[in-house]
Amino acid sequence: MIRISEKIIQLRIATRRATFYETPAGGKNTLSLKSKILFLLKDKDLTPADIIAALGMAKTNLAILTSSMIEENLISKYRKQNDQRSVLYSIAPRGKEYINKLLDYIDSAFEKIIPDEESKSKYITEMSDIIDLISFL
């Protein structure tokens, strides 16, 4: 009998492989922490704690990475108006361009496998259900 734990591990391996993309220099890469942070920030501004919780990374690593991303003009950092102690990160126009190119690349790769909209919609729904199911892990 196949165990769900085995399928979860297979899914993790498969998703890593499925998210290979070509770098601007022509090499291959998987989703980096930088890409994941940009993805998280593409729809809303987040606190460092939000990002740490979503990605399970160390606070020090986040500080180093976000500093680099600010220098690259991918994100910006600001303080809340009503609480100057609270920091938020937001995606910059260059970061939006970066993440949209990555998403377009991944979408185009899957278009070759799942060309029709009906099947694509079905798979997206099923993937959403799976994400909800395993989100506690």
More confident residue, 15 or 18: 15
Residue 80 phi, psi (nearest 5):
-65, 140
- Alpha carbon dihedral 17, 19, 22, 27, in 10-degree steps, equals -40
Summary mean pLDDT of the chain: 84
pLDDT of residue 52: 93
Tell me the whole-structure pTM to 2 decimals.
0.78
Where are the chain's structural domains? 1-30, 32-116
pLDDT band at 29 (very low <50, low <70, confident <90, very high): low
pLDDT of residue 126: 87
pLDDT of residue 102: 86
pLDDT tens track for 42-83: 999 999 999 999 888 899 999 999 999 999 999 999 988 777
Contacts 24+ apart (CB under 8 A), 102-110: 102/21, 102/31, 102/35, 102/38, 105/21, 105/22, 106/18, 106/19, 106/21, 109/18
Fold of the 32-116 domain: Arc Repressor Mutant, subunit A (1.10.10)
More confident residue, 69 or 120: 69
pLDDT of residue 99: 93
